[in-house]
């Protein structure tokens, strides 16, 4: 298996393209860092003997696949956001996959009806709230985040990050574009500082007293608790599962799709089926603190301890279709300015 630092990405991909010896392997282009996938790819290799080569692409996946065309070594693409996944599909870079195993393991809500993409895990977009400065029940809905009572008290990463774009898409779905613009303006007015950093950085800011609440994904709580340096950050907050006033909690997925010209399609399908299997779903649940999607698969006990929620029932492809409108509104209100 190879892990591709950004500095040698082009060379590594060129090697992939030129190396027929990889025909017995499966090659994955991933928005998720290889170290997070290693427990899964190692288990797959142990079970099947098939090696998984992971090329980490922080950005530019669509452009890379378009440039490589039929010569692309990539068999699968893996993303951690429905809009990114849909963008690869919309660019005509994937192929439909039909599999009784996948259909049994992945609920209909979490895969494309035509089989162009398949979900692997879910995560909720939650509020991290200071244990010292935020009382239980102070925030219950996403709409609450625009309430002036939070002025100078909210931290978040960039509004244009995929996770926040997806959330804004959900706001548009529930409130309409005008309502979403008003919401964005309200949240911006409540920010304690200019949007910056990743989701963990927002929790650190709460711990440091820079803000009282922050927006983040659930699994970062597990990541912080597993890091000795970051445990204090995690222990300074509660996880709050807000809902929409007329819906549930916003969730997003990690998902996988087979590339249009996959050179190792049979092995790629085996990996897709493995990633949705009970064995792999358990690894996801324990190693990455995400919510498994396979029927009967349970979340890790630590994840369960954060509380339960009812996921919003909006179709994820509908949210993906709202991504351009969401980005436009985020830019109109100059959210990151």
pTM over 0.95: no
The whole-angstrom distance between residue 71's C-alpha and the CA centroid of its chain comes to: 28
Instruction: Work out the number of other CB atoms within 10 angstroms of the CB of residue 230.
Output: 17
| Main-chain phi, psi angles of 154, to 5 degrees | -110, 140
Torsion of the alpha carbons at 259, 266, 289 and 104, rounded to the nearest 10: 100
Element (H, E) at 286: helix 278-287
Q: Which fold would CATH assign to domain 6-122+252-304? A: D-Maltodextrin-Binding Protein; domain 2 (3.40.190)
192-249 pLDDT tens trace:
999 999 999 999 999 999 999 999 999 999 999 999 999 999 999 999 999 999 999 9
Do 195 and 335 meet the contact criterion of CB atoms below 8 Å apart?
yes
For residue 288, the model assigns a pLDDT of 85
Domain ranges of the chain: 6-122+252-304, 124-250+308-332
Q: Which two tokens stand for residue 215?
A: 């927006």
Architecture of the domain whose range is 124-250+308-332: 3-Layer(aba) Sandwich (3.40)
- The angle subtended at Cα 257 by Cα 254 and Cα 263, nearest 5°, is 140
- The sign of the dihedral angle between the CA atoms of 309, 312, 317, 320 is negative
Same fold? 6-122+252-304, 124-250+308-332? yes
Spans in the chain with pLDDT lower than 50: 1-23
For residue 10, the model assigns a pLDDT of 44
Q: Which two tokens stand for residue 173?
A: 């779905």
Cβ-based burial of 10 (10 A; exposed 0-12, middle 13-18, buried ≥19) = exposed
Distances (CA, A) of 112 to 59, 84, 106, 118: 23, 14, 10, 6
Contacts of 296 (CB under 8 A, 6+ apart): 278
């Amino acid at each position: 298996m190879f892990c591709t630092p950004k500095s040698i990405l082009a060379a590594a991909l060129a090697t992939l393209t030129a190396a027929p010896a990889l025909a017995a392997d499966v090659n994955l282009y991933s928005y998720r860092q290889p170290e997070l996938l290693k427990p899964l790819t190692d288990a797959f290799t142990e079970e099947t003997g098939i090696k998984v080569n992971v090329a980490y692409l922080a950005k530019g996946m669509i452009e890379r696949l378009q440039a490589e065309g039929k010569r692309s070594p990539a068999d699968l693409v893996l993303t951690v956001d429905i809009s990114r996944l849909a963008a690869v599909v919309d660019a005509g870079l994937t192929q439909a996959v039909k599999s009784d195993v996948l259909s049994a393991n992945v609920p209909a809500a979490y895969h494309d009806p035509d089989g162009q993409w398949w979900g692997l895990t879910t995560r909720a977009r939650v509020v991290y709230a200071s244990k010292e400065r935020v009382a239980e029940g102070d925030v219950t809905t996403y709409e609450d985040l625009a309430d002036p009572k939070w002025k100078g008290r909210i931290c978040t990463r960039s509004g244009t990050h995929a996770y926040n774009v997806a959330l804004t898409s959900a706001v548009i779905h529930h409130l309409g574009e005008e309502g979403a613009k008003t919401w964005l303006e309200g949240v911006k007015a409540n920010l304690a500082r200019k949007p910056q950093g990743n989701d963990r950085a927002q929790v650190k800011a709460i711990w440091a007293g820079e803000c009282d609440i922050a927006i983040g994904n659930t699994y970062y709580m597990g990541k912080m608790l597993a890091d000795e340096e970051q445990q204090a950050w995690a222990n300074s907050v509660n996880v709050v599962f807000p809902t929409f006033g007329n819906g549930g909690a916003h969730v997003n997925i990690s998902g996988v799709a087979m590339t249009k010209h996959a050179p190792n399609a049979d092995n790629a399908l085996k990996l897709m089926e493995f990633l949705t299997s009970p064995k792999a779903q358990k690894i996801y649940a324990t190693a990455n603190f995400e919510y498994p999607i396979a029927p009967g698969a349970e979340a890790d006990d630590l994840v369960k301890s954060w509380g339960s929620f009812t996921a919003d029932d909006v179709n994820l492809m509908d949210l993906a279709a709202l991504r351009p409108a969401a980005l436009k509104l985020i830019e109109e209100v100059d959210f990151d300015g």
